[in-house]
Amino acid sequence: MNFKIVFHPLAAIVLTAILFVSCSSSDSRKPIEVVFYNVENLFDTVEDTAIWDDEFLPDSAKDWTTERYNKKLVDLAKVLTAISEDDLPEVIGVCEVENRQVVEDLFKTDSLGKTKFKVIHEDSPDKRGIDVALAYNSEVLSEVYHEKIRYSFAFEPETTTRDILYAKLLSGTDTLHFFVNHWPSRRGGQEASEPKRLMAATMLRTKMDSILLKDKDAKIIAMGDFNDYPNNKSMTEIMNCEPDANQRLTNLTYNFHESGLGTYNYRGEWGMLDQFIVSDGLLFSAEGFATSDSSAAIFKEDWMLYFPEDGKEPSPSKTYGGPNYYGGYSDHLPIRLTLY
């Protein structure tokens, strides 16, 4: 299989150096691969009267059948299996999942079910019922604690959105903090919807700072579909995670954005909506797991893309376009981060 993983410049040199150092150390643990994937509306076919899931039912305009659901699970498992050359990723964050059961179903598929993944999920108040979740290899990591971080909007109190999921995991003697995000969409326009993402950013940064206040060297990874780009106000002014910002956090996908790369294609233009933000404690760790500013990658294969007949820029092969079923994987590409 030919892998097409997009790194930013000089990554090969930096990664080679990291591998040399890590292999020369006394810590013999394998690297940990962290993946985030917006899986595009992973709904089951059972009606849930507590949420608005009507469009993803067998009698809906989308004709969401058991066969289509099972195909979607197998397709997503194919992506997650292919994303790491050596083995399955150890930590996988996902968004746009209806409930815990669909995530469990995904990790019971033939290609993923051989690994003992455990799922962390909490129902959020999103009207459509879509949530975030985290799965981890229980033979490599163990859960210490998790919680959902809920926020609302004083300027629009009737609006509900996805929670941020926080999980504290342990690998050996290393404590790793994970935040899985799916911030409010740009529906209504970027400017009109921005205050909602600024609130999400404030909640995330506050929680991350509370961890760093107790342990300045804490190893933190925030990942997700932020529905903002790395140069938007939520990232530059609230998260303060631009490279060289000296604010204890770094956005490892900023350079992808600067290079015109992305995980989502909107009207022919790629955008870096899916991102990794890490703390200095992980970026500059002298012992245990660490990463580098060149360790993030976009996973992109031709078989995951739709190529227009007019020769225009390809885009992620999505499952639906409105009511039309295309049978693709997702409208987003996944991202990967290696911890050495």
Tens-place pLDDT, residues 263-315 = 999 988 999 999 999 999 999 998 999 999 999 999 999 999 999 988 888 99
Q: How many CA atoms lie within 13 Å of 214's alpha carbon, on the beta-carbon side?
A: 8
Cα–Cα distance for residue pair 143/135, rounded to 1 Å: 10
The pLDDT confidence band at residue 28, using thresholds 50, 70 and 90, is low
Per cent of the chain over pLDDT 70 is 91
The pLDDT confidence band at residue 147, using thresholds 50, 70 and 90, is very high
Q: Tokens 């990664």 sit at which residue?
A: 15
The pLDDT confidence band at residue 7, using thresholds 50, 70 and 90, is low
Given this model, what pLDDT does residue 168 score? 98
Chain-centre distance for alpha carbon 176: 16
- pLDDT above 70 (res 132): yes
Cα–Cα distances (Å) from 68 to 49, 210, 233, 302, in that order, read 22, 43, 39, 22
164-217 pLDDT per residue, tens? 999 999 999 999 999 999 999 999 999 999 999 999 999 999 999 999 999 999
CB 222 within 8 A of CB 179: yes
SS3 of residue 181 by DSSP: strand
53-85 pLDDT per residue, tens? 999 999 999 999 999 999 999 999 999 999 987
234-253 pLDDT per residue, tens? 999 999 999 888 889 999 99
116-124 contacts: CB < 8 A, separation 24 or more?
A: 117/92, 118/143, 120/146, 120/165, 120/167, 121/97, 121/165, 122/146, 122/147, 122/148, 122/163, 122/165, 123/99, 124/148, 124/150, 124/160, 124/161, 124/162, 124/163
Domains delineated in the chain: 5-339 (3.60.10.10)
Which string of b and e fits 135-170 if b means at least 16 CB within 10 Å?
A: bbbeebbeeeebebbebebeeeeeebbbbbbbbbbe
**Concatenated DSSP letters for 200-250?**
HHHHHHHHHHHHHHH-TT-EEEEEEE-SS-TTSHIIIIII--STT--SSEE
For residue 332, the one-letter residue type is: H
306-330 pLDDT per residue, tens? 999 888 889 999 999 999 999 999 9
Structure tokens at 194: 């921005």
Cα–Cα distance for residue pair 338/299, rounded to 1 Å: 13
First to last CA, the chain: 24
Q: Look at residues 85, 145, 80, 144 and name the one whose alpha carbon lies nearest to residue 115.
A: 80
Given this model, what pLDDT does residue 84 score? 83
